[in-house]
Structure formats: C-alpha cells, structure tokens
Amino acid sequence: MVLCAVRRHLLRNSSNGGVWVRLLQRQSSGCVYSSIHGFNQEEITEKLQAFAGGSIDLHKQESGIAVLTVNNPSRMNAFSGSMMVDLEEKVSQLENWTDGKGLIVQGAAGTFCSGSDLNAVRAISNPQDGMKMCMFMQNTLTRLLRLPLISVALVEGRALGGGAELTTACDFRLMASGSVIQFVHKYMGLVPGWGGAARLVRIVGSQNSLKLLGGALKVDPDFGLQIGLADGVLTAPQVKEEAGILLQQAENWLSHYTKGPAPVIQAVKQVVLSGKELPLAEAMRTEKDVFGTVWGGPANLQALAKNSKHK
C-alpha cells in the first residue's frame, strides 16, 4: 500500500530532480498503524516518555554510512519508553538523509540489546497499553526496515526479546563470535509484538521460526549462519581497548554494498524492498519508476561517457 503510493508519487514527478527527497518524505508515512486503527501517536508518545533512561544515538558519517547505537548499558541496553520515542525520531532523521547509503545498528558497551526495559513492562502490563506500545514499535521498526539505506545489525553480546526483534528490522545481521540472538518471549509468557515474528518468518522460514520461538533457542553465530539469520561472523576483540575494531569490520563488510553514488544505492534498496513487499505486477511497476530516477542520471551518464568495461 505504501509502496504503491510511492510509485504513484514517482510517476507524477519522474522528470523532476527532487524525486528522491519526496520519495523519502513519503516513506515516513510508511506505517502499519494510523488513526483508523485506533492508534494515537501523541497519546502513546507521552506515556512512553514517562519511562526515561538511556538514549538512541545517531552518528551520520561522510562515507554515507550512519551508526545507530542503542545506549543504556546499565540495563544491558534494554529499551526504556523514552528510547522508543528517541528511536522514532532518529528514524525520521534517517528518512530525510539524502546522502545516506548504509546503516549499522549496534548496542553500546559490548552487548546488543536485552529487549524492553522490564521496569516499564511491569508498569504498563495491561493489554491495552501493551498493544499501544506494540503499534508504536511496529510502526517505527517497519519504517527502519523500509529506509532507503542498506542496514546491518551488528550483534555483539546478547540480543534478547525485543533486541532479537530489532535485529530482524535490518536487511542483514552480522554476529560477533560469542554473541547470541534469542527470542526469549516464551519465557516471559509472551510472543514477539514488535513485528519480529512476521519478519523472522520471512528471513528463516516458518519451520525455523517455530523452532526459534517455540523453543526460545539460543542462536549462536554458527547456528545463525546455518538457518540464514546471520549473514556473516565477525571476530570479537579480546581486549576492551580494541572495542572499535568490530564496528570497523562491520563498516568494511557493508561498504561492499554501499560503494557508489547515494541515488543508485538507494534505488537498489528500493527495488529489492518493493520486490519483497509487493505483488509481482506492482513490484514491476515500482521498479520501472525507480529505474526512471537513475536512467540518464549523473552516475549513468558518467558511466556511459567512460565506456565502462566490467571485467
């Protein structure tokens, strides 16, 4: 539905150089829930803000790769309510980053994320509030996955519960040696609610998903590679002083896919996303429209002028 709107939008503007800016703006409405589903963004934002602590830090780099850090180390990077609101704001900023090409999502201080802050969970343990929080996070994580950036979750330490769900809102997952992704929801008397189950099925299939959720299995890097949850394994540094090495390794890995001009990389993400999310005919039409944004564009004309050979 959203990409259909994007496609119509592109059609109206395909001869215009500002098309990508408008495409990005349009994507910010790429939510699953709106007022017609009884979702009231202001109301839940206010409620979440009451559970403070930690932050989501965004660092945009010259390379076109941004780093988003889940930062609440004293609680193993658990998501407080204010961090959920913070994440939504950072996703909005990324939607408007016209020079962006890639994104790395990591946790602070050597671990990824231990899910919802259990203190907040206890305070809003009624189903109504739970579902409002769930709609808020589904909207945000859907927008994160739909960013016109190639995204990677860099998993170090543990990704538990909502933290495991967050990894599925990225295009790829890189696991550091010794790391674990675990959908521990069953142990909490829950199922995923941040869209993690729906995305997991699309990544590892329904058989593997049933095993991971039903057994709350610990996914280490080898198991992650075997079932397709992990896309690569990185060697975790032995000493604290070398902590930045892992991020560097992840940037090197990602740069293989983000090398090139931003409009082309963003177009790559867009055609793959529409192929994944839309029925075939609509995906084809979207692909044609996105193609129209790069055909005859600066990168295309430069390549033609160079008479490129691809040996």
Ligand X SMILES: CCC(=O)SCCNC(=O)CCNC(=O)[C@H](O)C(C)(C)COP(=O)(O)OP(=O)(O)OC[C@H]1O[C@@H](n2cnc3c(N)ncnc32)[C@H](O)[C@@H]1OP(=O)(O)O
What residues line the site for ligand X (CB under 6 A)?
Answer: 75-76, 78, 114-119, 158, 160-162, 184-185, 188, 190, 193-194
Going by their DSSP bridges, the two strands 65-71 and 102-107 should be labelled as: parallel
Give the shortest CB-75-to-ligand X separation in angstroms: 4
Phi/psi of residue 238, nearest 5 degrees: -80, -30
Q: Which is nearer to ligand X, 34 or 119 (CB)?
A: 119
Q: CB of residue 21 vs ligand X: minimum separation in angstroms?
A: 34
Minimum CB separation of residue 55 from ligand X in Å reads: 15
Smallest gap from Cβ 187 to ligand X, in A, equals: 7
Name which of 240 and 311 has its Cβ closer to ligand X. 240
Show the tokens assigned to 42.
Answer: 């202001």
Rounded distance between C-alpha atoms, residue 39 and residue 115, angstroms: 22
Looking at the Cβ atoms of 160 and 174, the one nearer to ligand X is: 160
According to DSSP, residue 186 is labeled G
The nearest distance, CB 93 to ligand X, in angstroms, is: 24
Helices 2-13, 262-277: inter-axial angle, 10-degree rounding? 140
Sheet of 150-155: strand order equals 55-60, 65-71, 102-107, 150-155, 172-176, 232-234
Residue 182's closest CA among 228, 211, 218, 206?
Answer: 218
First to last CA, the chain: 40
Q: What's the token pair of residue 40?
A: 């009231």
CB-wise, 102 or 193, nearer to ligand X? 193
Taking the complex as a whole, how short is the minimal distance between the CB of residue 276 and ligand X, in angstroms?
24
Q: Which residue is nearest to ligand X (CB)?
A: 115
Q: Quick one: 91 or 160, whose CB is closer to ligand X?
A: 160
Inter-helix orientation angle 262-277/19-27, to 10°? 40
Q: Residue 188 or residue 247: which is nearer to ligand X going by CB?
A: 188
Shorter beta-carbon distance to ligand X: residue 59 or 186: 186
In angstroms, give the least distance from the CB of 80 to ligand X.
8
DSSP 111-126: --B-SB-HHHHHHT-S
